[in-house]
Amino acid sequence: MKVSPLSYPGDGVLDVLIFKGPKTDAFTLLPRIYRGEHIPHDHIEELRVRHSLTVEADRPLPIEADGEILGATKATFDVVPQALRMKL
């Protein structure tokens, strides 16, 4: 699944995609997400973060990364360039 097809793990940038459309679009976009062909899209906002990102919501929402629930909003993510060594 190519959720963020323009991301590169070694660039020191956190790529964030925010889906703002109706729930029905999430299901219709799924085949395109697998192929990495879902962006650009009117209902998907792309952000590139170099330092930190804080996520807030009107009510607690789950924070998930790589299929694991990490907690709930309000959450802050700090970008730490070269924190992981990866062989690409």
CA distance 54 to 77: 6
Task: Reply yes or no on whether the pLDDT at 69 is more than 80.
Answer: yes
Distances (CA, A) of 74 to 53, 54, 55, 62, 68: 11, 7, 6, 9, 17
Mean pLDDT for 15-30 is: 85
Domain ranges of the chain: 11-49, 51-80
The pLDDT-based confidence of 28 (bands split at 50, 70, 90) is confident
pTM confidence score: 0.73
| pLDDT at residue 88 is higher than 80 | no
Q: What whole-number percentage of the chain has pLDDT above 70?
A: 98
